[in-house]
Structures are given as structure tokens and as C-alpha cells.
Amino acid sequence: MRLELGYNTYMPVTRVKICGIMRADDAALAAELGANSFGLNFVGGPRMIDDQKAFELLQALRDRFGREPMPDRSAFAIPVALVRAPSRRYWQAQWHSDLNYLRIKRFQLYGEDEIDLLSHLDDNANRNDGYWKVMPVFDRSSLAGLSQAVTGLSWKPQAIVLDTASPDKLGGTGQSFNWHWIAEARAAGELDGLPPLILAGGLTPDNVAEAIRIARPYAVDVSSGVEVPGKPGIKDPIKMRDFIQAAQSA
């Protein structure tokens, strides 16, 4: 049975996103192993991918699977674009044309949005399907204030990605935070009414099951934890398999 991503969704099997994908073979293998989505990084860092390479990767997947990776097709791992929330200047110069070109329908947004993002995208003929907002976790109080922070957004995210805060990075630190903070916030009712939570930061095949049992997220997000050591963006097939199996059986 397929369950749509939405508020108050209960998913008995935790969904998995393999992030920092740079090769079509890695994306295809992630899908075959049972990942629900994969991330293409347009924000920065060693796993950043440019528009042309992303287009070639996505086209290779379309050719291989013989269909478009749309969000309503549960058998296909969905591409998620990791992007910086657009400033007005960036929107006018680049954002609109890039999204049409790549035909990506789901976005993971970093940073502060200076415009009413959804009103612009919804007017686009190539209507987009989902928006995930990355919220940095500094300490326990970050989760206590999560509801207020989400309420203050000019648009409603479909999901919240909780990632370890960093003083000099928007995300992708590869470091975990205290998962018990999520359990405590949930027990205190501080997460009631929020979109589904996606847990990121420092997850590996060895710790993901424990993270899920403690935090009970809707989904988990991994990048460096399933890579070949010393090779950012190059995924290790055994680690991907072990991570997905551990997450789905937790």
C-alpha cells in the first residue's frame, strides 16, 4: 500500500533518501535496493552537481527505467533537488529556468526564503510537487521552537528535514545531534501538527536503526554514511544496501 507524504502521516516502514548522488549508476542502484528518493546537491560542497551533469544523470535514469521519475510513482526513487532558498535576485536570474530545464518536482530548501516561493512556482505551468524545509538543530530548544518556526514560514512545507546545525555550513556536516531531543519534544507535544520529520546528519548503516527507534522519523537521509571513504559523492553499494535494510527493518 502506498502512502502519500502529508501531515499526520503514519508510515510503518521508514522511508530512505540517499543524498549527494553524483552518478546515474548510484541513483539506479539506490532505487533497486529500495530507496524512496535520492538527492542532487545544488547548494555547495564536494558533492555539488551542476545543471548539465544533473540533466545527463536524470536522462540516463529515464532511459534506463523507461519512464519519468514522478512523485506519484512509488516504484521509482524520486529525485530531490537540494537548493538554497532563493533570494529575489537569484529567482529573477536563474531559479525559474533551471527548474524547468531539469524537470525536478521536489525540493529540499536551505536558508531563508526572501520571496513567497510557492506563489511563484504554482503559477508555473510545470507545477512542482513537494517542498521540504531544512531546519538546523542547535540544541533541545531548537525542537521546542520548531512549531513556531514553521508557522512563521510564508508557505507550508510538505516535510521538515532536521539536520545538525553548523556555524559555517547550511547543512551536510555528517554529524549527528542527540536523537533523544526529538523523542522528548514529541512526548511534550511540541511536534504536534507539524509536517512529517526527516532525520539527517551523521547516519550510518550501524546507527540508523537506533536513530529510528529513538526519534521515529518519517524518513531518514544519508550521504557520507554510505560512501567510499575519502571519495565524496561515490556511493558504496554494500553500505547502501545495509543502510536501507537497517532502516526498513528498524
What's the whole-number average pLDDT of the chain?
82
Whether the predicted pLDDT of 73 surpasses 50: no
Is there a domain that residue 2 lies in? no
What are the cell numbers at 141? Answer: 530548544
CB 102 within 8 A of CB 54: yes
Is there a domain that residue 5 lies in? no
Q: Is 59 left (phi over 0), alpha (psi -120 to 50) or beta?
A: alpha
For residue 11, name the pLDDT band (cuts at 50, 70, 90).
very low
Of 132, 131, 120, 82, nearest in space to 102 by CA: 82
What are the cell numbers at 182? Answer: 526529538
- Kindly state the average pLDDT of the residues 52-72: 77
Instruction: Report the C-alpha gap between 130 and 113 in whole angstroms.
Output: 16
Domain extent at residue 64: 15-249
Q: Is 10 left (phi over 0), alpha (psi -120 to 50) or beta?
A: beta
pLDDT in tens, 151-188: 877 777 899 999 998 756 655 667 899 999 999 999 99
pLDDT in tens, 185-232: 999 999 999 999 999 999 999 999 999 999 999 999 999 999 999 999
CB 79 within 8 A of CB 106: yes
Is there a domain that residue 185 lies in? yes
What are the cell numbers at 28? Answer: 539506479
- Structural domain count, the chain: 1
Residue 46: CATH number of its domain? 3.20.20.70
Q: Is residue 197 packed enough to be buried (19+ CB in 10 Å), middle (13-18) or exposed (0-12)?
A: buried
Is there a domain that residue 10 lies in? no
For residue 125, name the pLDDT band (cuts at 50, 70, 90).
very low
User: Cell numbers 507539524 label which residue?
Assistant: 194
* pLDDT value of residue 138: 93
CB 196 within 8 A of CB 219: yes
* pLDDT value of residue 128: 46
